[in-house]
Amino acid sequence: MPAIDLEELVAGVLKGSRRHLARAITAVEEDESSADDLLAGLPVATNSFRIGLTGAPGVGKSSLISKLVPKLLERGERVAVLAIDPTSPLSGGALLGDRTRMPGDLGDGAWFRSIASRGARSGVAGCTDLAAEILSRAGFGIVIIETVGVGQLEVEIGEETDQAWLLLSPESGDAIQFLKAGIMEIVDRIIVHKCDRPGAEDLMRLSKEAARDQNVADPIGVSSQDGTGIDEIAEALLEAARCHRESPDPDRAQARILRRIRRRAEQEWVRSGLEAVGGPQRLEEVAIKVCRSQMTLREALETLLTGAHDGDASG
């Protein structure tokens, strides 16, 4: 990123410019290395709380967030929402389904952004952590990350956030499987959404048992339709944020930084490795030779990893 652009973006974000904030996140979406200098120019946030909301598609994550954000704003919080949307297989962009469920204008205290998953299978996009960090440093005290909702293996959200809450609904056919799956190991709270629907009482009972087994907070029943539990969940989130601000978990923070460094290091290793062997075009050339049976897969790897010429791969 050119130095003048970087200086302009950092200055704009620090002044509260929504246009510059949008450009900063777009820059990180397009090239995660942009975040290296961006974050270096922004002061570290000390009171921001990240919460992840995960659950199966159709469980009502966006609907709940649309009711929850105004409650948090009423209580004086500045709230940013990162909604990870499925990537279009044709355009590669986000389908933006979450945006349609959000209220219109929530004022300067709220921010909403859809991010394309870009094929990620963990429920979060690769740049989610960096985008959330920029929002935190831009002064948003609560950053809500809504996952795609890809299924029971959506556990990466636990590493991206300070707390992860799992949404279940009685209409979700695999709700019981979620309570038994590995995702429960990273869940800090269970939310039984659509609690006004048939089967909610049984699901709440099972959720309480699962919460007790995992030694996490009691589940909360909530309905975005009739407003049941919205105030309670808002207060629970605010209490979680207060506890985090007073006593942040150093292990969780360190794990997040480690993950961030590892991801960026891996990206640079791949970039420098590709440059060393001739770039993506060289990969295509080797792939063509394998397809034509002019080279085995093992020889192709040796050619790329050792820098040997094609004819020397087996020597």
Q: Just give the CATH number of 44-246.
A: 3.40.50.300
What's residue 195's pLDDT?
Answer: 92
Domains of the chain by residue range: 1-42, 44-246, 258-312
Angle between helices 250-277 and 280-291 (to 10 degrees): 70
In terms of DSSP bridges, do strands 189-193 and 220-222 run parallel, antiparallel, or are they unpaired? parallel
Look at residues 213, 215, 117, 229 and name the one whose alpha carbon lies nearest to residue 169. Answer: 229
The more confidently predicted of residues 120 and 66 is 66
Prediction pTM value: 0.83
Q: What is the pLDDT of residues 171-186, one digit of tens each?
A: 766 666 666 666 777 8
What's residue 153's pLDDT?
Answer: 47
What's residue 80's pLDDT?
Answer: 96
87: pLDDT strictly greater than 90: no
Q: How confident is the model at residue 77 (pLDDT cuts 50, 70, 90)?
A: very high
314: pLDDT strictly greater than 50: no
309: pLDDT strictly greater than 90: no
What's residue 251's pLDDT?
Answer: 87
Q: What is the pLDDT of residues 252-306, one digit of tens each?
A: 888 888 888 888 898 888 888 888 888 888 889 999 999 999 999 999 988 888 8
CA pair distance 138, 257, nearest whole angstrom: 18
Q: What is the pLDDT of residues 122-159, one digit of tens each?
A: 445 568 889 999 999 999 999 999 987 655 445 678 88
Percentages (nearest 5) of helix, strand, coil residues in the chain: 50, 15, 35
Amino acid identity, residue 169?
Answer: S
What's residue 275's pLDDT?
Answer: 87
What is residue 87's DSSP assignment?
B
Of 1-15, 72-86, 201-215, 226-240, minimum mean pLDDT range: 1-15
100: pLDDT strictly greater than 50: no
Please provide the average confidence, as pLDDT, over all residues in the chain. 83
What's residue 116's pLDDT?
Answer: 74
What's residue 74's pLDDT?
Answer: 95
What's residue 37's pLDDT?
Answer: 87
Which distant-in-sequence residues (6+ apart) come within 8 Å of 34 by Cβ? Answer: 1, 27, 28
Q: How far apart are the first and last CA of the chain?
A: 43
Q: What is the pLDDT of residues 204-262, one digit of tens each?
A: 998 999 889 888 999 999 999 999 999 999 999 999 999 999 999 888 888 888 888 88
Q: How confident is the model at residue 118 (pLDDT cuts 50, 70, 90)?
A: low
